[in-house]
A and B are shown apart, each in its own frame.
Chain A
Amino acid sequence: MSANPRTIIIGLDGVPFGMLKAFADAGVMPCTRAIIRDGFFTPMQSSIPEVSSVAWPSIITGHNPGQHGIFGFVDMIPDSYKFRFPNFKDLKAEPFWNLCSGQAVIVNVPSTYPVRPMNGVHISGFVSIDFEKSVYPQSLLLELRKLDYRLDVDARKAHTAMDEFLQDVDKSLTARIKAHQFLWDNYDWQVFMLVFTGTDRLMHFLWDAYEDPAHKHHDFFLDHFKKIDQAIAEITAKLTAPDSLIILSDHGFEKLEKEVYVNHLLASEGFLAFEQGAEPKPVNMASATKAFALDPARLYINQKGKFQAGSVSEADKSACLADLEQLFSSLEIDGRKVIKHIYRKQDIYAGPHLNSAPDLVLLADTGFNLKGAMTSKQLAAKGPFTGKHTYPDAFLLVNNKDLTADLSENPCVTDAGKLIKSCVS
């Protein structure tokens, strides 16, 4: 082990500030409570949009999407209206481990598939597909298979067999912890990052179990966090005085009241049109389309010269943007305002990739979950999910208060990324 101060980063995907605080206070997470007591603990803003695929790249690079180039789980290929899925190869900024002089061990960070050669160990996170492209170096494959390591839980099971899904969540957590122990002991690393993603999966499907102590999966939910706290306790026990420990989430969560289908509204208001008789799919968009949305609520003007069947001229763009802002700011469902905030791209993004950014991004008000699916036959519905992502209440917890002296008043995920960079380089 090296004598230099080390940096340990633990990610708890989707865990809101309020939940972590409540679990700490209630004794579910006693070790976390002790770190909060002695360290620095603050709510943190997520990325816009508030999804893991954008937030984690901001955390690992310390840059906003205009610089790192990742704006969501999916992008549109301009000359075909086909989907493409940006991955680690599309990340335009360096992750912190490439700036670090010593070895790094990076486990389960979302949006880092496929792995690339680096100085240390990298096991990619959601969405990782081929196991062999998810592990660097390849010599680790065998050991990870022995540990029954799983890249991700199979969330499809949550729709059909909840008990199997929960078993899977638990096995993935156990294997992730074992893998971390193995890597911790067998590598001479300077920075170690481990992200737990079962938290996000549980909150998507079982937010109701968290809120309701009588729910049959309430205890499972608490146990999951207890096990994570034990893993954190194990890590803190191995720290030496100068080591930095940073625990953070990438976005928050809250109860989901209604899914709202943004493209449904665009179609019914005449902004989005499909070829006659064709299925409502992106590839079938007609040139009459003025705007469309990609998940979760990124709006793109169907601009001439930018998209294959683009029809909105540069001159008409600002009027179209204003119409869209008018449409969404007045949207109400069940007598409640749906949209809390509408951002124009230049207000939230800066950097060389601004051109690939959505023209508008919508942020939903409490309880509403915005979606980009084009096939919905209704504006709003309630699906199988009980929890949804939130923007303002991710969290940041640092063991050493001195490290946070330069942190801004209302930190966001990009600030957390800068803090990590300053620790490791």
Chain B
Amino acid sequence: MDGVKYNFIVVDDSKLDCFVAEKVIKHSGKALVVKSFLEPIKALEYIKRNEIFNTSKTIIILDIQMPVMTGHQFVEAFEQLSQEIQDRYIVYMISSSSNESDLNRIANYKSVRKFSNKPINKEMINGFLRDLK
């Protein structure tokens, strides 16, 4: 097992999903800092502030279906940020169900690494971590 660790940001409007995600992420043993946001706007503001705690990359776990700002809108705003900021993040999108148009849209985002279906559990997080190697 290699010792690379990551920071995590969870963006999901469901408190329960954020809670579960934090638990699973902390349990993976690969997490340095875990932050969760119920409002995508707040997450975006946080990313823009560009606070650097360490040199590790940050994994964003992003729900698609959210009110006010959807996951899609979040990614579109994220991709407007400077390349230097974008390079510090890896985005994974998740949803409880997906249709073809969702998946097609995701395929067009450069910054999104992969899509996965909910529920958020060990398999999902481990899958994302395996994918990074």
**Is chain B found bound to chain A in the same assembly?**
no
